[in-house]
Amino acid sequence: MIALTCFIFTLSGQSTNQSDNGIPPVTTRHLVTNPIGTEFLLCQTFTVTLVTDIMAANETFSWVTSSNLQIMSGQGSLTITVKATGLGPALVQLNNNINGTIIQYSVNMNIVVFSSSHTTIYTNYSTTGNMIVPEDSYISGTFRINAGHTVYMGSTVYCTPNASIIISAGGKLILEGGTLTSLCSTEMWQGITVLGNYSELSQNPSYHGTLELRKASIENARRAIYVNDDRSSVGTGGIVTAEYSSFINNQCVVDYHPYKRYDIFNNEADNLSYFTNCRFIIDSNNNFDTRNKYVLQLVRLNGVKGIKFKGCEFSNSMNTTSSQGTAIYAYNANFMIDEYCSAFGPIDNCGNCHPSSSVRSTFYGFAKAVDVTNGGEYNFHIDHTDFSYIPLISKLVKST
């Protein structure tokens, strides 16, 4: 029996270990990148190959990388194709199993940006207090806003493909007149996670993450806003308020998970989140993966009450049936879609606007405008809303 032995090699390392147990001499093996080098540009694609002049029977190859690299193809073979998705030091490692003996080869590299004009780069950053993010900054990896801290972004901030912003419970991000978008022209970034506290029932911002958007834009995110915690079900309750803002070519704009808010009389109350005069846009300029070139649900509401969409535009100009998707999907949720009174306000007891000040909500081009499933205890409200280029039967789909 061959004992399990681990050898570590890098591009510059060499081994003097030889064996007569069927394992090829490891001095003949090393990793090579194509193009050759140890510095690569963000979003660049390159290959890494194990160079060898002899093969043993029953060899296997398992590749792993650091979090700012993504294996695109070739897992299990001698050559992999890798894409740089984040900035800074990076690692590619091969675990080569030869008849039960594991030999490791690794190559270190550095991922850099293609322009030196952007001087502020946040890589796996955690806030230490209130701050303003400078114009044309880069975010790579995780940008965490800690409890009690407010971060202000008022210009364009570019995000690498592995970038994500996490607003901790009690933290706040204000995006005013600024844009969060992808750094790479053909890639998407991960989006914003707004954490809350499921057990705090008044939705007090001191205990919940808050995202405020005012005349702002979020573009090219896989999930622009996620109001939940992937690690558990107790991170819900985050607050999102958006006014005169745009969400452009995001595969999902906002995804809410169950949270119930109660007033001082212990009655269930509306969630504090709302979207007023906002644009939810999908067009042919999107960066969606070719294999995933569609939208499932642009807005997902699960187990929440009273989220309001007033004077909002939902538009999908993608011209294939498989790409049209659903604008709003609600599961056991209550919500409102209505007009926004832009100037003079309501003129009657029903709250209707004067025609000259009414901004109606609109839906264009989706396979389904609103899909309500398992309404349960909740009702919903849709009024002063226009639908166009949507199958008649699919304007509103309700099932239980």
Q: Is residue 1 part of a domain?
A: no
Say if 342 falls within a structural domain: yes
- Give the residue from 48, 80, 112 where a domain finishes: 112
Q: Is the dihedral of CA 173, 161, 227, 394 positive or negative?
A: positive
Structure tokens at 78: 């001698």
Same domain for 91 and 214: no
373 shares its domain with 255: yes
Neighbours of 327 (CB within 10 A): 29
Same-domain pairing of 128 and 106 = no
Single out the residue in 90, 112, 134 at which a domain terminates: 112
Do 108 and 125 have their domain in common?
no
- Which residue, among 75, 51, 163, has the nearest Cα to 113 in the 3D structure? 163
Q: Output the CA torsion sign for 300, 157, 188, 234.
A: negative
Residues 150, 197 within the same domain: yes
Per-residue pLDDT of the chain (400 residues; tens, 9 = 90+): 333 333 333 333 333 333 445 566 655 789 999 999 999 999 999 999 999 888 888 899 999 999 999 999 999 999 999 999 999 999 999 999 988 889 999 999 999 987 655 568 999 999 999 999 999 899 999 999 999 999 999 999 999 999 999 999 999 999 999 999 999 988 999 999 999 998 999 999 999 999 999 999 999 999 999 998 766 667 899 999 999 999 999 999 999 999 999 999 999 999 999 999 999 999 988 988 755 556 779 999 999 999 999 999 999 988 655 567 899 999 999 999 999 988 766 676 676 788 888 999 999 999 889 999 876 677 899 999 999 887 654 556 665 5
- Could you tell me if residue 79 is inside a domain? yes
Does residue 387 sit within a domain?
yes
Q: Are the C-beta atoms of 306 and 272 separated by less than 8 Å?
A: no
Q: Of 112, 144, 174, which residue sits at a domain end?
A: 112
93 and 145: one domain? no
Instruction: Give the CATH number, domain containing residue 87.
Output: 2.60.40.1080
Do 214 and 66 fall into the same domain?
no
What phi and psi values does residue 392 have, to the nearest 5 degrees?
-50, -45
How many domains, the chain? 2
Tell whether 102 is covered by a domain.
yes
Give burial (CB, 10 Å; 0-12/13-18/19+) of 34.
exposed
Contacts of 12 (CB under 8 A, 6+ apart): none
DSSP one-letter code for 25 = P
Per-residue pLDDT at 231: 62
Q: How far apart are CA 55 and CA 26, in angstroms?
A: 11
Task: Kindly report the pTM of this predicted structure.
Answer: 0.85
Same domain, 383 and 306: yes
Residue 18: inside a domain? yes
391 and 285 assigned to the same domain = yes
* Residue type (1 letter), 356: S
Domain containing 378 equals 121-399
Q: Domain for residue 209, yes or no?
A: yes
Say if residue 78 is in the same domain as residue 135.
Answer: no
CA distance 277 to 348: 21
Number of H helices, E strands in the chain: 0, 40
- Asked if residue 127 belongs to a domain, the reply is yes
User: Do you find a cis peptide bond into 258, omega within 30 degrees of 0?
Assistant: no
Residues 179 and 93 in one domain: no
Residues with Cβ within 8 Å of 270's Cβ and at least 6 positions away in sequence, in order, are: 261, 305, 306, 307, 308, 334
Q: How far apart are the first and last CA of the chain?
A: 61
- Same domain for 362 and 381? yes
For the purposes of burial, counting CB atoms within 10 Å of the CB of 44, is it exposed (0-12), middle (13-18) or buried (19 or more)?
middle
Rg (C-alpha) for the chain, rounded Å, is: 26
As given in the structure block, the two tokens for residue 105 are 């080869």
Torsion of CA 383, 387, 391, 396, to 10 degrees: -20
CB-CB contact of 215 with 245 (8 Å): yes
CA count, 13 A, side-chain hemisphere, 240: 27
> Which phi and psi (to 5°) does residue 120 adopt?
-105, 115
CA atoms within 13 A on the CB side of 160: 30
Longest dimension (CA), the chain: 92
